[in-house]
Amino acid sequence: QVQLVESGGGSVQAGGSLRLSCAASGYAYSSRYMGWFRQASGKKREGVAVVDTASGVITYSDSVKGRFTFSRTNANNSLALQMNGLKPEDTAIYYCAASKRLRVADPLSESVYSIWGQGTQVAVSS
């Protein structure tokens, strides 16, 4: 059984920072792709930052590039997302996700992932 549990969400003013964490249990760490998605109210879920664990390559969405930093720690099976320079449009529920698929064309595509955490709310006020 794969489990992903997010933590670290909250409310912050524009320009502030938050750090999200995701604890992976089960065989999640053998997943090929792992990362973060978000879903704003009334919008589709979108990829934020993901890692190809085989190559170590991290892919960021254009909307967060330069502001968010993804990290993965093998020792304690955890993922993190450091979010700096937050904007009101970053407000969303943030999800941790994992996929065992091999070599996908678009690792930021929601359809790649079948393992999801329960989500954590991030709210950014102007």
- Buried b or exposed e, range 9-45, using 16+ CB within 10 angstroms: beebeeeeebebbbbbeeebbebbbbbbbbeeeeeeb
Count of residues for the chain?
A: 126
115, containing H or E segment: strand 115-116
What is the tens place of the pLDDT at every residue in 95-109? 999 998 988 999 999
**Higher-confidence position of 65 and 53:** 65
What is the tens place of the pLDDT at every residue in 85-95? 999 999 999 99
How far apart are alpha carbons 95 and 47 in whole angstroms?
9
